[in-house]
Amino acid sequence: MDIFGKIKEKLSNEFIDIIEWLDYTDDTIAYRFERYQNEIKNGAKLIVREGQTAVFINEGQLADVFEPGTYDLTTKNLPILATLKGWKYGFNSPFKAEVYFVNTHLFTDEKWGTKSPITLSDDRFGLVEIRAFGTYAFKISDAGKFIKDIVGTDSNFTNFEINEHLKSLIATRFTDTVGEANLPIELYAANTSELSDTCREVMAPEFQTVGISLEKFYIENVSMPEDLKKEIFEYSRIDKLDLDKLTKFKTAKAIEAAAQNEGGTAGAGMGMGMGFVLAQQMGGMMGGTMHANPQGASQQSAGAVPPPMPTQTMYYYAANGVQHGPVTFEQMQSLFASRAINRDSLVWKQGMSAWSALKDVDDLKSFLGGNTPPPLPTE
């Protein structure tokens, strides 16, 4: 050893050690106090500041943990380390141990998100995919357990390192939670606050197993494909609109769309059909006028009366355990097309002795498709 090394060693033996952590940044969670051969003197001073916890490790084993304060390191306040070292009557300076300082302040606005879509099964829309993202906040609640289970021998453990682990844990538990919730698909986006609280309750115990407290958990957005959004919005309006008006509106839109297809036979036929409907309506209006006008009445066939109106069958149906109706055949067709009801929905009409599944009601089987005409009669 050269002359300067001897002087340095002599000075280190004469002055009391001070163990503290001053230079840390907001992204550092755990820092190992570095000194030559990890030697600590009897009576050395340990300074633990607010927002810190000091952890002593002896040959890989967790020893004493110190909360904020100033300590003189002696056998009295190092009971666990004294036991590990086998100090029955105190210890002679120096002794070797690793000292870790853990940042215990609250880490806020940490980001999380689902790396891939989550597949859910919905009774009305089948298999659907959603994504979600948000923020969370955490802090180290058990510094000893955190050092032992997570940090290990890392001398400078950062926020980035732990976040990779936590985000994977969050994504897994979030998937499990929304899957077990079994909510209607539209409620995931509408109830983010309640779902956030539930997820935090589910995840908190797993965070605690490694010495971390999950303080806050927020779901900021639940997204789904645009075509599914449109279906959900349309479905949500069904209970708010008059079903008869809704059916007529959709029929009119379909006629309009087909009529615009001038190059196709279907468009031409639909246009003609629409013309017939308009002609009948105009004829009815003119007929009413002529009946009111004596001169016009002379041009009508004497004694002509319209046949009686046919009786329209009305249906009742069950959705989400609630009875709805009565509705017409066209309204039932619209409800089936918009997935408000399905082939297994219970249906009843006048003359039926009990409720039956839609698929078993003869006059509604046309909704299911696949119908074929009977064979032609043979001569």
Specify the pLDDT at position 307: 73
Retrieve residue 197's tokens.
């609280």
What's residue 14's pLDDT? 43
Q: Output 267 or 372, whichever has higher pLDDT.
A: 372
- Higher-pLDDT residue of 144 and 17 is 144
Q: Which CATH number fits domain 239-263+313-370: 3.30.530, 3.30.1490, 3.10.110, 2.40.160?
A: 3.30.1490
pLDDT > 80? residue 244: no
Strands 39-40 and 61-66: what pairing?
unpaired
Identify the band that residue 361 occupies on the pLDDT scale cut at 50, 70 and 90.
Answer: very high
Q: How far is Cα 107 from Cα 157, in angstroms, rounded to an integer?
A: 14
User: Looking at residue 218, what is its pLDDT?
Assistant: 94
CA distance 334 to 315: 13
CATH of domain 107-225: 3.30.479.30
Report helix, strand or coil for 354: coil
Q: Report how far residue 97's alpha carbon sits from residue 39's, in angstroms, rounded to the nearest whole number.
A: 7
Does 239-263+313-370 match 107-225 at the fold level? no
CA dihedral over 239, 240, 242, 243, signed as positive or negative: negative
Is the pLDDT at 369 greater than 90, yes or no? no
Has residue 298 got a pLDDT over 70? Answer: no
The full DSSP string for 67-79 is -SEEEE--STT-H
Does the structure show a pLDDT above 90 at 27? no
Least confident of 88-92, 232-236, 338-342: 88-92
Amino acid sitting at position 252: A
> Which phi and psi angles does 226 have, rounded to 5°?
-60, -40
Q: What radius of gyration do the chain's Cα atoms show?
A: 39
- How many residues can be counted in the chain? 379
Which range, of 2-16, 113-127, 172-186, 316-330, averages the lowest pLDDT?
2-16
Q: What is the pTM of this model?
A: 0.55
- Pair 291, 304: CB distance under 8 Å: no
DSSP designation for 368 = G
Q: Where are the domains of the chain?
A: 12-103, 107-225, 239-263+313-370
Q: Minimum mean pLDDT among 4-8, 167-171, 224-228, 302-306: which range? A: 4-8
φ/ψ of residue 159, rounded to 5:
-60, -40
Alpha-carbon gap, residue 212 to 206, rounded angstroms: 9
Q: Is the peptide bond before 326 cis (omega within 30 degrees of 0)?
A: yes
Which range has the worst mean pLDDT, 172-181, 208-217, 293-302?
Answer: 293-302
What six digits make up the tokens of 234? 């349309």
The rounded distance, in Å, linking the Cα atoms of 189 and 187 is 5
Q: Tell me the backbone φ, ψ of residue 138, rounded to 5 degrees.
A: -145, 165
289 vs 297: CA distance, rounded Å:
9
The angle, 0 to 180 degrees and rounded to 10, between the axes of the packed helices 192-208 and 159-181 is 120
**From residue 367, how far is each of 67, 270, 338, 361 by CA, in Å?**
72, 21, 12, 10
Tell me how far apart the alpha carbons of residues 188 and 118 are, in angstroms, rounded to a whole number.
Answer: 12
Cα(319)–Cα(355) distance, rounded to whole angstroms? Answer: 13
**Closest to 331 in 3D by CA, of 263, 250, 257:** 250
